Amino acid sequence: MIEFAEIHHVTLAVTDIKKAAQFYENVLGMTPRTDRPDFGFPGAWYSVGNQQLHLISVDDAKTLRGSDEIDSRDGHLALKVVSIPSLLKKLDEAGVLYQDRPDNKTPWHQVYVTDPSGNVIEFNAPRS
Q: What is the pLDDT of residues 70-93, one digit of tens each?
A: 888 788 899 999 999 999 999 999
Q: CA nearest 80: which of 35, 54, 50, 103?
A: 50
Where would I find the beta strands (DSSP E) of 33-107? 43-48, 51-57, 76-80, 99-101
Q: What is the separation of C-alpha 15 from the centre of its chain, rounded to a whole number of angstroms?
A: 15
Residue-wise pLDDT for 6-33, tens only, equals 888 999 989 899 999 999 999 999 999 9
- In terms of Cβ atoms closer than 10 Å to its own Cβ (0-12, 13-18, 19+), residue 117 is buried
Q: What's the pTM value of the predicted model, to 2 decimals? A: 0.85
Strands 9-14 and 51-57: parallel
Sequence-ordered alpha helix ranges (H) in the chain = 17-22, 84-94
pLDDT band at 67 (very low <50, low <70, confident <90, very high): confident
Q: Which domains does the chain have, with CATH numbers?
A: 9-59+67-126 (3.10.180.10)
